[in-house]
Structures are given as structure tokens and as C-alpha cells.
Structure 1
Amino acid sequence: MRDSTWLRNVRVENDYLEKEGFTYGSKSETVDIEIKNGKISDIIAQNFRQDGNNEIDGKNYLILPTLREMHCHLDKSKLGVPWKPITPANNIVERFTSEIDELDNLSLSLKERAKNLIETEISNGVTFFRSHIDVHPKVGQRYLEGVLETLEEYQGQLDYELVAFPQHGMLRSNAYDDVKKALESGVQIIGGVDPSSLDGDLERSLSQTFELAIQFNVPIDIHVHDRGEHGTETVKKLIEYTKQSNWQGKVAISHAFGLNDFVGEEREMVFSELAELGISVISSVPINGRIPPLEELRTAGVNVNLGCDNVYDSWSPFGTGNILEKLNRYAEIHRLTTQEALTDSLALITGKPFNLEKGKTWLKKDMDASFLLVDSSSAAEFVARQSPVKFSFYKGTVVHSL
């Protein structure tokens, strides 16, 4: 059994500061945390200090939950290669067709580029990745194999889920066998993309997707960019298949732009069904006018998560690999300006509720010792001011420090 490590002198929020009905900040208490076997074994008030051989000075930084990157493409980033703007493409088919040759001819290998993205995200506080990896006849399993080899180098530094992603369409590219092979090799989630407009057969595309999900007992995370009837029909059919397959809590819709196109009573009913069935929405918070109604969805009880998605790749020259930047954009778009709203929004990139209650904190004994230390007065300030991560811990190990 490993010796314990004491993390000294860190602050944890436990209440709001209010005056005349206005919340102007958060209260915090200073604690010492014992870490043993990758978990938090004790939390004590600082004035009850216990001696320990291994100590880390937390420098009175604020402790927050570790961050999650819920939508990226480790096989696609061009981080580390010389700058070049994206090449023109008239449509999605042109884009993903030219992408393969472009990535194959870069000066850095897939493994080197994936490593650059992973390390960028780790430096920004991420210790969990969900990454979609292309598997289809044009690339076979080689992107997946490259990503898996890269992730082997990060054992003990992060957790991850990989999504078998038929980028060129499950039906359009006859990707069923390649997706199945990826799932047979242990990939944890099945993906998909625009089964209505790209595959041209919504029913058959979703049927194959759910068939494989059920066969391998894995969740589904499907890209749905479609607007109008393509988008709304896809969402309704996903709801139908989720019910028929008893796949509640195992389906996520990435992007989900078509949720904007439901109106009136149907809108209310669909959003309610998404919540009841545990169908999540994952967004990269685009600012091109297509962002789904995320706060409305949260109010309806839908689980919403954020991801960076494109980080300098063949699809976009933008993206920094900083998930906090995405949350900051989200908060600005939705005018989350109060202490409470900013604090609550942190759950979008941590997966942990952060509602402060008098005297209670999110930090508990026996949880994984995966967390951040930041130079902020509160979670709200961390979100609004995008404070840099001073320390990032993964199961008791420091994986990043400034």
C-alpha cells in the first residue's frame, strides 16, 4: 500500500456571500486533504493539522472538480504542423473526402498530433476525454490503432471513451463491418452522422446503429447537424428507437442543431421526452447561429455537456483545446452573469453538480483524487475570468502544474 500524501492549504467553497438580497461571492474554508491509493481518504480543517511525510503546498488555491472533454477528434487535429488555412469545400462530402489525403500528407504523424492535443487539453485541466475516431472502409482501423497507441503513453494520467465514428456515413460508406470490428476490439461507444441527409435512409441507418449498440451493449453518440425536417425527424426517430430498445440513459446527440426547429407544444413534448429518456445533448457552442437551445434544454431537465470538437483541423482553423473557453462562451451567449448561474454552469464541463448549500461542499471522502487547483475566489470567477489551472490531479497524481 502506498504512503499517503497530504495536500495542504486549499480552499473549498461551501456557501454564497449575500448582502441585501445580492449574492456577491462565495464563502470557502481552508482544508488539508489526505490522498491514499488515488482517492481522498480524509479532509480536515487546517487548524487540525496532521503530520505527513509526503506533502504538497496548495498555496491557498481554490479546489474544483477535474474537467471533461466530451467531444473531440484525436485523429483529426493538425496541432503542431505549420499554419495553413482550411481548403475550400462546397459541402460535407467534399470536406471528408479531401480530409484523408490532407491528414496523411502532414509533416507530423497522427500519434504526434494526437499527443499535442492531449497535452494541450491536460494543461487546461482535462483528465477525461470522449473522442470520436473515424472507422470506415477508406481508413479501416488505422486511425483507431494510432489513437490507442498514443493513449497507452498516458496510462495513469487520464480516463477516456472512444467512439467508433463512421464519418462518411454508416450506409453511404458501407461502414457497418468496420464499426463492428472497432466495437469488437473494445471501443466503448458507437457513433453516427446525419442518418437522414447523409445516409439518405433514416430508418435503416438508425436500425444498424442500434443493432450494434445492443449487440455490444454500448452507448450511442451520434452527430446530428441537420436542420429543418431532416433534423426534427432524426430526433423523433432517436426518441422512438431509444424507447423500443430500452436504451434510456445510453444515447447522446452531438450538435443537435435541429432542436431549434421544434415549435409550440411539440417542442415542449420533445424536450420533455429527451429528459425522461436520459438522452443527452453535447455541444461545442458554435457561434454561427446554429447553437441549439441549450439553456432551454437544461431547464427542461436534459443533460447537457460541452466539448471542444474542432481544434485546428481540416474543418476549422479555430479551436484552442481549452474546454473552459467553451464554457465561458456558453455563459456569455446565455447571459449567465450571476454568481449562482456561473457556479452552476461548471457542471457542463465537470459532470458534477456544483450547487452550493450551506456548509456542504462537492468534495467528499472516498472520491477519486482528481481535481484542479486554481487561483480564483470562486467557481464563478474561474468560469467568467478563465483563470489558468495551477495544478491538475488525476487519481492523486499531479499531471499538470504551473
Structure 2
Amino acid sequence: MVKENSGFSRRKFLCQVGKIGGASAVLGATGAMDLFLPENASANAEKDINLNTKKPDKNSSYMLLNVRLESGYKYENGLVAATETVLRNLHIVNGKIIRILDTNAQYNKNLECYNAKGMLLLPSFRDMHIHLDKTYYGGPWKAAHTRKNGIFDMIALEQTLLLELLPTAQERAEKLIELILSYGSTYVRSHCNIDPVVGLKNLENLKKALINYSDKISHEIVAFPQHGLLRSNVEGLMREAMKLGVTHVGGLDPTLVDGNMEKSLNTMVQIAADYNAGIDIHLHEGGETGIKAIRLLADLTEQAGLQGKVTISHAFSLASLSSGEDVEMADRLASLGISIASSVPIGKSVMPIPLLLERKVNVMLGNDSITDHWDPFGIGDTLQKAHLAAQLYGWKNEYNLSRAISLATGGITPLNESGKQIWPKAGDEATAVLVPASCSAEAVARLPKRTAVLHKGALASGVLETI
């Protein structure tokens, strides 16, 4: 992606974001979403839908008719000016798209049929950094906690707060799952507190919640030592968590919180190696301290053979790299398959997401906190994070907006860089979102309502009209 306006005004951007956040606070997540319905799409799409009790499940065989698919780019003077689309009928069997047909082609009329009514089909979204196990969502409104001593105030607060939240942890996790599903996310990587206060109880509740929604959402779980891996002496608990099916070993600010970067990172990597697991560390530390941690983690990743299995969440220190150093670091991360998970933060320093993408680093987006003691602003919409990235980095034209959808989908795009259709294809999972928009670029810019969300062929959220 190419930054289109190097003179982009941060003040203007913050004003725009303030309008979004203000609308979310006043209207709630669903009401705020309606502000971004595309002007040329039906803002009342669901009002016209026949709420038939039938809905496809993972074992269904059915036709999804009149689906809008992107088919290519339209060029003017050598530049992408628009996105072309076609209407198609999809035959879905046992969670997979087995045929993509012209709308005038014959199909078995005895199959269950659902009408997409010309809505655009997009790959479903992936929330790759969220905390489902601790949230105020689903309960009374409460703003974030006031901090005077940074993260240490929050660790102290959690000594009592986690126990207060524990009785409703599963219920609130399930409501949060329903929220992100309604925004089109069918894959989630949730960090889960492993600490001396609740032990493995948050993990137990989170696993129950995810099992209850296993037909609607796929997941990964990070065992997260929120109070410090060394500081809270939880290596034993972390190892117990790995035995319970956790997919990733977490960590937290090895210098600032644990006070021993080398020992903290080595312990984290050793646990991952012992259990053949991935790594996803919270690294908030900025400047040289954070850079040293990233460089050491890269070396340990290579030594332990964990290429392609390591994620650095936040990685704020990357914003402090000088020209030349940033390219060198990005190339090192890309060569080892180390991913960066970001919530597209707004602050004094701007994360170098465009450079990371240019150098082929895998950048993933997540909502992080959703209405909890850390942050009151998260609304649960991964597409909105791609929208914020487009605003922040000046991705305003058709091509750049259409490529930005990849940040929300885990890299899947309907068209490749040259405009050839690559998704969906026969044999692909029917894991997708129907939206009232004309193309990916419009969806990123305008944030249309997610009318229907499919997970492996099953209706995970929203509604489909039967025929």
C-alpha cells in the first residue's frame, strides 16, 4: 500500500475518530454501525428479510443465490479507478463452496435456497488480539480505571477485580463472542489471564464459552501472564495451562515488568518449545528497551525452530526505529515469520504498519480491550480497525482501500494485487460475510452492516432470506 497524502493531518484524523467514538458511546455498537451504511446500498436491508425459522447449519446442502463477487479492477490511465463485480449463485455443501454458477445456470430447485439479494460476499474477519476472559461488556457501564503508576496500578487493581468478575466471566465472554460475530469475525485469538489471583479459573470459563460457540467461531487461546511471568512466579501455572489445550504462550514486558529480559524471554520460549506451541507476547515497552527485546526474541525464535509461530503484540518500539533500521528490522521479522498484532493505536508515535506490509511482515489486527478496566472504547469490529488504519495512513483511493481489507481477513482478499479473482473458489470453506456494499473498498471506507455471517457454511450471525 502506498501512502497517498504525506501531509495527512493527525488533528483531522483525531477529530474523525472522535466522531466515531462519540457515536459508538451514544448509540451503542449497533447504532453506531448504522452511521456507516453505504449511500448506494439499502440501509434497511434486514427490514425486507423474511425471518423464516430455517437457517443453514454446518451439515447443510443449500444454494446461496444472487451473491455479488468481485471480479476485477477497472483501470483509467493505468490506475485502478473502480472494482468490477458479478452476480453468482453458490452451492454450499457441508461447509464448503462446491460450485459457483452463473445466475442463469440450472441448479437443483429441491435444495434449500437463500437469497443474498445482490449483497457483496467478503471473507469473514479475524480478531487476532482480544481479551474475552475479562470484560465489563454485558454488565453495567463502567469507565476505565485511572492510572497513576501505569501497568503496575492495573496489576494491583486485578488483585480484587478479577475475583469480582469471575462469577460472570463465562456469561460475559459469550456475550462478547456474540458481539464480534455480529461484526463478522469468525476467528478469534483470545488472551486469557494466568495469574496467582484466579489461577486457571478464567481459562476454564473461557474454554466453556468457546465450546458453546464452536459451530460459529474458531479460536486460539494465549496463556497470558498479565501480572508478569517472572514477577508473579507463574511458570508452573503456565505449563498447566498448556496441558489444557492452550495454543500460545504469552508474555509481558520482560524488562519493565519482569525485570530480567533474558530470563523472561528464555522462559517463555522454553515453555513454547516444550509444548510445541506458538508465542504471542505483549510488548508495550518503547524505545531501545523494546527493540532489544524484539531482537533477542528473533534470535531465540531462530534457535528454537519456532519460525512462523511467534507474534509480537503491540510492539510499540518499532515506531521509534530510524530510517534504515526499520527496514532491517522488518526484513528480520519477515524472514522468521514473526507476526505483529496491532489494534491500530492512536498516539504520539505512529506504528509503521505500511512499511511492515511492504516488507512482507504478517500484520494482524485485533480489538484488544472491549469495555473493560483498561479501555472503554473497543466496539468489537475488526473491519473498523482496518478502516482506522486506512484513515491513519491515508489509504483513500480504490486500490489501497481494497487491499486494506486484508488486514481484517487474515490476508485473504477477493482479488490479488493485479486484479485477478482469487476468492472464493470451489472447494473453499463457506466462511464469509454478506454486506450491503458494492466492493471491498466501499466496505472498508463505509463500514456497512453485516447482514449475514457464515462460519463453515453455518449461519453464525444475522439473517438470510429463504426462497
TM bracket, shorter-chain basis = over 0.9
Residues 86-119 of structure 1, C-alpha deviation per residue, up to 9 Å, x if partnerless?
A: 2322220111220342243359711121112111
Query: Following TM superposition, by how much is the alpha carbon of 1:340 offset from its aligned partner in structure 2, in angstroms?
Result: 1.0
Counterpart in 2 of 1:374? 435
Matches within 5 A, 1:3-402: 4-52=61-109, 53-90=111-148, 91-106=150-165, 109-354=168-413, 355-356=415-416, 357=418, 360-402=421-463
Write out per-residue CA displacement over residues 243-275 of structure 1, whole angstroms, 9 at most, x where no aligned residue.
111211111100000012222443322111011
AA in 2 matched with 1:262: L
Aligned length: 402
Q: Secondary structure at the match of 1:198?
A: coil
Letter in 2 for 1:136: D
**Residue 163 of structure 2 contacts residue 197 of structure 2 at CA under 8 Å; is this kept in 1?**
no
Change (3 A) 1:321 1:358: closer
Offset of 1:18 from its aligned partner?
A: 2.4
Q: Distance in 2 between matches of 1:256 and 1:136?
A: 23
In the alignment, the residues of structure 2 paired with residue 350 and residue 266 of structure 1 have an alpha-carbon distance, to the nearest angstrom, of: 29
Post-superposition CA distance 1:98-142 (Å, at most 9, x none): 034224335971112111211110000011010000012222100
Task: Say which SS state the counterpart of residue 448 (structure 2) adopts.
Answer: coil
Secondary structure of 2:174's counterpart equals helix
Q: 1:109 aligns to what SS in structure 2?
A: helix
CA distance in 1, matches of 2:95, 2:411: 19
What is the SS of the residue equivalent to 1:282? Answer: strand
Write the distance in 1 (CA, Å) between the matches of 2:412 and 2:215: 25
* Deviates most, 390-399 or 104-113: 104-113
Kindly tell me: are residues 10 and 197 of structure 1, through their superposed partners in 2, closer, same or farther at Cα, counting changes over 3 Å? same
Shift of 1:23: 2.8
CA contact (8 A) 2:133 2:193 kept: yes
Shift of the 325–299 alpha-carbon distance from structure 1 to 2, 3 Å rule, reads same
**SS at the partner of 1:143?**
helix
What amino acid maps onto 1:42 in structure 2?
R
* Kept in 2: contact 1:195–1:206 (CA 8 A): yes
Contact 1:13 1:361 in 2 (8 A): no
Q: In structure 2, the residue corresponding to 1:389 is in which secondary structure?
A: coil
Q: Is the contact made by 2:192 and 2:222 (CA closer than 8 Å) also made in structure 1?
A: yes
Instruction: Return the alpha-carbon distance in structure 1 between the equivalents of residues 293 and 59 of structure 2.
Output: 51
Check the 8 A contact 2:136/2:142 in 1, yes or no: no
Secondary structure of the residue aligned to 2:245 is coil
Distance 2:321 2:338 in 1: 16
Q: CA RMSD in A?
A: 1.7
**1:344–1:353 CA contact under 8 A, matched in 2:** no
Which moves more between the two structures, 117-126 or 104-113?
Answer: 104-113
Matched residue SS, 1:149? helix
Deviation at 1:82, TM superposition (A): 1.5
Unaligned runs of 5+ in 1: none
Determine the C-alpha separation between the residues in 2 that align with 1:157 and 1:328: 24
Post-superposition Cα deviations, 1:274-329, rounded to whole Å, max 9, x if no partner, equal 11111110100111234421111111111101000011101112111111111111
Check conservation: 1:12, 1:361, Cα contact below 8 A: no
Map Cα deviations across residues 191-241 of structure 1 (whole Å, 9 max, x no partner): 111112111111101111111111100110101000122111111111111
Alpha-carbon distance between aligned partners in 1 of 2:331 and 2:132, rounded to the nearest angstrom? 33
Contact 2:183 2:381 in 1 (8 A): yes
- The secondary structure found in structure 2 opposite 1:346 is helix
Alpha-carbon contact 1:81-1:107 (below 8 Å) kept = no
Q: Is 2:162–2:198's contact at 8 Å kept on the other side of the alignment?
A: no
Kept after mapping to 1: 8 A contact 2:143/2:371: no
Give, in whole Å, the separation in 2 of the partners of 1:49 and 1:15.
25
Bigger relative contact order, structure 1 or 2 (CA pairs below 8 A, ≥6 apart): 2
Q: Distance in 1 between matches of 2:161 and 2:260?
A: 29
% same residue? 36
The whole-number CA distance in structure 2 between the counterparts of 1:268 and 1:104 is 45
The answer for unaligned runs of 5 or more in structure 2 is 1-57
TM-score (norm 2): 0.83
- Distance, in Å, in 2 between the alignment partners of 1:173 and 1:2 is 46
